[in-house]
């Protein structure tokens, strides 16, 4: 450190003032962030633009196959009843 430069005087009150200002700025940032999310202004959140999950998509032809299986099951049940 240069002898020409004088270090800052740091007192307890200046540290408390600095912490208070930091807290105010953090709270202000949180409020602005909440305001933007509630109004939807500025940007869209990532949760709204999620890519569809692989497991949420139904395979093609599954519902038709399920109907066909149900019909086949009822036919088998009828044939079983007649055979008894």
Tally of domains in the chain: 1
Residue 29 lies in a domain: yes
Nearest to 12 by CA among 23, 24, 20, 4: 20
Whether 19 maps to a domain, the answer reads yes
Is position 49 within any domain?
no
**Is residue 80 a part of any domain in this protein?**
no
pLDDT in tens, 65-78: 999 999 999 999 99
Query: Is 73 a member of any domain?
Result: no
Query: Would you say residue 82 lies in a domain?
Result: no
pLDDT score, position 46: 54
**Does the residue 22 lie in any domain?**
yes
In a domain, 20, yes or no: yes
What confidence tens digit (pLDDT) does each residue in 2-36 have? 567 777 778 888 899 999 999 999 999 999 988 87
Structural domain harbouring 15: 10-40
């Amino acid at each position: 450190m240069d002898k020409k430069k004088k270090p800052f005087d740091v007192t307890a009150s200046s540290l408390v003032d600095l912490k208070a200002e930091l807290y105010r700025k953090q709270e202000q940032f949180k409020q602005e962030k909440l305001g933007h999310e509630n109004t939807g202004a500025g940007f869209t959140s990532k949760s709204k633009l999620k890519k569809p999950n692989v497991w949420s998509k139904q395979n093609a032809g599954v519902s038709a196959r399920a109907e066909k299986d149900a019909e086949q099951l009822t036919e088998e049940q009828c044939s079983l009843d007649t055979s008894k």
